[in-house]
Amino acid sequence: MDQVVENAARAFDLLPAGPEESRPGQSAAQRLRTDPDTVERDLMKLVLTIVELLRQLMERTALHRVDHGDLTEEQEERIGLTLMTLQDRMEELCDRYGLTLDDLNLDLGPLGSLM
- pTM for this entry: 0.62
* 24 pLDDT higher than 70: no
Domain that holds residue 80: 2-111
* 85 pLDDT higher than 90: yes
* Dihedral, CA of residue 112, residue 114, residue 109 and residue 97, to nearest 10: 130
Number of domains in the chain: 1
Digit-coded pLDDT (tens) for 31-71: 455 677 788 888 888 899 899 889 889 999 999 999 999 88
* 82 pLDDT higher than 90: yes
Question: Mean pLDDT throughout 75-92?
Answer: 92
What is the model's pLDDT at position 105? 79
What is the model's pLDDT at position 28? 42
Provide the mean pLDDT of the chain: 76
